[in-house]
C-alpha cells in the first residue's frame, strides 16, 4: 500500500513539474520573443539576401532603416504569431526535456553519488549532455514553426519591383502544395545542428556563469542568487548559443527562404547549401547578421531564464494560493506601471471589438455582395484591425507617457507629455496606414470631435484662480464671441454638409470609401429604377 502511495505521489510530483515547465517555459519564451523579434527580422533579411552584388543591405543598421521605411514599425513584427507559438513551444520543450534528462541521468547510475539525490547538481559534463539532448528534442518541433517564420519575415519581390507581404495562411498552404508534409521540415538538419550544439552552449553558458557567481560570492543555492546575476548568466548563455553555431542557422535560413535548387543546381541538402554559400560569401557571409543576433540575445535570454525561474519559485500549491499569489502581484504598487500597460492593451482591444463588430456586421451584410463566408471574413478583418489599432495605440501612448514621466526632472507628468505621446502613437499606429479604411475612419472620427472641442475651448472663458476650462481666445462679452456661441454649430453643420455634397458630386474619388459608398447608395442610386421591384425594394 505504501508503495502504491509513493508511486502515486511521485507521478503527481512529476506531472506538476512537467506542468510548471510547460507553463513557465511558455510564458518566458513569449516574453523573450517580444524583445528579440525585431532583431530576428533584421537577422533573417541579412542572411537571406540574394546572390547579386551589391548587396541590398550594407549592414544591420541599414537593413533596419530600410525595413522601417518600407514596412513601418508593425512590419518589423510581421509574422510574429508563428514565432510566439514557436517561442512557447521551444522554451517549454527545452526546459521540460532538460529537467527530464537531468532526472534520468541521476537515476541511471552513471553518477553513483547522485542516485536518489535529486537536490544535488549534476557535474558540468552532465549538464552539457542534457542541454544537447534538450536541443535535439526541441528541433523536431521548432523546424516547421521557424520555416513559416522565415518565409513571413522576408518580403516577396514581384517582377515589377513591388514588395508584397506574405500571409501566414498562404505560406503554410504553399509549403504543403509544393513540398507536401515533409516540406515543413525543410532545414531540419540545420536546426538540429544549431539546437543540439546551441542547447549545450545555452544551458552550459548559463550554468557555468552561475557557478562562477557562486564561487565568487560564496552563494550555496540557486535561489539565493540575485536577479542581476541570473540575468547576466542568461545573457551570457544567449550570446554563446547564437555565436557558436551561427553558420548552421545561416544555412538553415537560406534553405527556408530561397529556391535552393537554383542555388546549388542539385538536391537541396544542408551540405550543398553550405558549400554554395561558403563559395559565394566565405566565412564573413556565414556570420552575416551575427552581431545583431548576439545583441538581441542579451535581453531575450536574460528575461527567459529570469522569468522562468521566478515563475517556478512562485508556483502556488493550490488554486486558492494561486489566486492569492496573482492578486498580491497585481495589487503591488511596484508593478502598477507595467500592469497599466497590460490593462490599457486589454481595454483597447475590448473596446475596439465592441465598437467595430456590430458596425461591420451591419454594413457588410447589408451593403456588400458576396458569399456568407466572405462576408464573415470581412467582418472579422475589420474587427481585428480596429481592436489591434486601439490596443497597440494604448500600449504606445501609455508606454511613452511612463517614459516621459520617469525621465522628467520633476519626476511627474508635464502638460505637453500627452501631446508628444499621442503624436508618437498616431504616427506609429495610424500615420503609416493611409490605405487602410478602418484606420481612416478612426482618424476622421477623432478629428471631427477634436475640431468641435477646440472650437469650444476657444470661446469658453477662463475661470479666474483655477486655470479655467477654456482658453479665453475671445473676450467674454464681445459680440464676435456671442455670435460664435449662438451660430457656431449651425454654421459648422451647414458647411460640413455643403462641402461633403459638393466633393461627392464633383470629386467622388476623393471621398473616403465607406462614406462614398453611403452617398452613392442614398443619393446616386436613387435616380435610377426600371421596375416596381427596383423602385421599392432593390436598387437597379
Residue 2 has pLDDT above 50, yes or no: no
pLDDT, average across residues 447-456: 86
Taking only the tens place, the pLDDT of each residue in 452-509 is 888 888 877 776 544 456 777 776 667 777 787 788 888 888 988 899 889 988 999 8
pLDDT category of residue 61 using cuts at 50, 70 and 90: confident
Residue 394 lies in a domain: no
C-alpha cell at 187: 532545414
Residue 329 lies in a domain: no
CA triplet 320, 98, 242: central angle to 5 degrees?
Answer: 115
pLDDT of 4: 44
Residue 54, preceding peptide bond in cis (omega within 30° of 0):
yes
Taking only the tens place, the pLDDT of each residue in 94-113 is 999 999 998 888 888 787 77
Question: What's the structural domain count of the chain?
Answer: 2
- Considering 313, 342, 366, which residue would you say is the last residue of a domain? 313
Query: 536: left (phi > 0), else alpha (psi -120 to 50), else beta?
Result: alpha
pLDDT of 465: 47
- Considering 294, 313, 332, which residue would you say is the last residue of a domain? 313
Residue 507 lies in a domain: yes
Residue 481 lies in a domain: yes
C-alpha cell at 189: 538538419
- Which residues constitute the domain of residue 501? 477-539
Residue 63 lies in a domain: yes
pTM of the entire structure?
0.54
Residue 410 lies in a domain: no
pLDDT category of residue 164 using cuts at 50, 70 and 90: low
pLDDT category of residue 311 using cuts at 50, 70 and 90: confident
- Averaged pLDDT score across all residues of the chain: 81
Residue 362 lies in a domain: no
Closest Cα partner for 243 from 299, 187, 197? 197
pLDDT, average across residues 59-65: 80
Among 172-181, 246-255, 441-450, 470-479, which is the least confidently predicted range? Answer: 470-479
pLDDT of 236: 93
Which backbone phi and psi does 157 adopt, to 5 degrees?
-100, 120
- Considering 295, 313, 331, which residue would you say is the last residue of a domain? 313
Residue 266 has pLDDT above 80, yes or no: no
Residue 25, number of CB atoms within 10 A of its CB: 27
Residue 6 has pLDDT above 50, yes or no: no
Alpha-carbon distance of 115 to 109, in angstroms, equals 6
**H or E element, residue 163:** strand 163-164
Please name every residue paired with 164 in a beta bridge, in sequence order, or none if there are none.
156
Closest Cα partner for 364 from 533, 29, 372? 372
H helices of 108-245, in order, are 124-153, 168-179, 188-217, 227-244
pLDDT category of residue 394 using cuts at 50, 70 and 90: very high
Residue 441 has pLDDT above 90, yes or no: no
C-alpha cell at 9: 505521489
Residue 348 lies in a domain: no
* Residue linked to cell 522628467: 408
CA dihedral 232, 233, 239, 240 (to 10 degrees): 160
Higher pLDDT, 293 or 95: 95
Percent of the chain with pLDDT over 90: 20
Domain containing residue 27: CATH number: 1.50.40.10
Is there a contact between 402 and 337 (Cβ–Cβ < 8 Å)? yes
Amino acid at each position: 500500500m505504501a508503495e502504491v502511495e509513493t508511486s502515486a505521489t511521485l507521478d503527481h510530483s512529476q506531472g506538476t513539474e512537467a506542468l510548471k515547465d510547460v507553463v513557465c517555459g511558455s510564458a518566458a519564451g513569449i516574453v523573450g520573443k517580444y524583445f528579440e523579434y525585431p532583431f530576428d527580422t533584421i537577422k533573417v533579411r541579412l542572411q537571406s539576401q540574394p546572390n547579386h552584388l551589391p548587396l541590398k543591405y550594407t549592414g544591420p543598421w541599414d537593413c533596419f532603416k530600410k525595413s522601417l521605411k518600407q514596412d513601418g514599425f508593425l512590419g518589423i513584427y510581421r509574422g510574429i504569431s508563428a514565432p510566439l507559438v514557436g517561442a512557447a513551444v521551444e522554451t517549454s520543450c527545452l526546459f521540460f526535456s532538460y529537467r527530464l534528462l537531468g532526472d534520468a541521468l541521476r537515476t541511471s547510475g552513471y553518477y553513483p553519488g547522485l542516485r536518489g539525490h535529486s537536490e544535488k547538481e549534476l557535474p558540468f559534463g552532465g549538464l552539457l549532455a542534457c542541454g544537447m539532448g534538450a536541443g535535439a528534442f526541441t528541433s523536431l518541433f521548432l523546424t516547421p514553426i521557424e520555416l513559416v517564420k522565415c518565409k513571413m519575415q522576408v518580403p516577396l519581390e514581384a517582377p515589377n519591383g513591388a514588395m508584397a507581404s506574405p500571409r501566414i495562411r498562404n505560406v503554410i498552404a504553399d509549403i504543403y502544395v509544393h513540398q507536401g508534409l515533409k516540406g515543413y521540415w525543410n532545414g531540419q538538419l540545420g536546426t538540429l545542428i544549431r539546437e543540439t550544439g546551441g542547447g549545450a552552449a545555452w544551458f552550459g553558458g548559463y550554468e557555468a556563469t552561475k557557478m562562477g557567481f557562486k564561487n565568487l560570492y560564496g552563494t550555496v543555492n540557486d535561489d539565493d542568487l540575485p536577479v542581476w546575476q541570473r540575468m547576466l548568466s542568461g545573457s551570457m548563455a544567449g550570446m554563446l548559443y547564437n555565436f557558436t553555431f551561427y553558420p548552421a542557422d545561416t544555412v538553415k535560413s537560406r534553405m527556408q527562404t530561397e529556391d535552393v535548387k537554383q542555388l546549388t543546381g542539385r538536391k537541396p541538402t544542408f551540405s550543398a547549401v553550405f558549400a554554395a554559400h561558403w563559395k559565394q560569401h566565405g566565412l564573413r557571409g556565414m556570420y552575416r547578421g551575427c552581431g545583431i543576433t548576439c545583441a538581441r540575445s542579451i535581453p531575450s535570454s536574460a528575461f527567459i531564464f529570469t522569468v522562468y525561474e521566478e515563475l517556478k519559485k512562485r508556483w502556488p500549491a493550490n488554486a486558492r494560493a494561486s489566486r492569492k499569489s496573482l492578486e498580491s502581484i497585481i495589487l503591488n504598487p511596484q508593478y502598477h506601471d507595467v500592469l497599466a500597460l497590460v490593462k490599457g492593451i486589454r481595454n483597447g482591444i475590448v473596446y475596439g471589438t465592441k465598437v467595430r463588430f456590430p458596425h461591420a456586421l451591419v454594413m457588410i451584410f447589408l451593403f456588400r455582395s458576396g458569399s456568407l463566408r466572405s462576408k464573415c471574413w470581412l467582418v472579422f478583418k475589420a474587427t481585428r484591425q480596429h481592436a489591434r489599432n486601439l490596443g497597440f495605440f494604448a500600449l504606445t501612448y501609455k508606454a511613452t507617457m511612463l517614459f516621459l514621466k520617469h525621465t522628467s526632472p520633476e519626476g511627474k507628468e508635464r502638460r505637453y507629455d500627452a501631446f508628444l505621446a499621442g503624436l508618437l502613437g498616431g504616427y506609429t499606429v495610424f500615420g503609416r496606414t493611409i490605405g487602410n479604411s478602418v484606420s481612416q475612419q478612426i482618424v476622421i472620427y477623432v478629428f471631427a470631435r477634436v475640431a468641435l472641442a477646440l472650437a469650444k475651448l476657444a470661446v469658453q472663458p477662463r475661470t479666474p484662480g483655477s486655470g479655467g476650462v477654456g482658453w479665453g481666445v475671445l473676450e467674454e462679452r464681445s459680440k464676435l464671441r456671442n455670435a460664435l456661441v449662438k451660430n457656431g454649430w449651425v454654421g459648422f453643420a451647414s458647411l460640413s454638409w455643403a462641402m461633403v455634397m459638393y466633393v461627392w458630386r464633383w470629386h467622388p474619388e476623393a471621398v473616403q470609401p465607406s462614406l462614398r459608398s453611403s452617398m452613392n447608395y442614398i443619393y446616386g442610386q436613387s435616380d435610377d429604377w426600371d421596375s416596381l421591384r427596383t423602385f421599392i425594394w432593390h436598387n437597379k
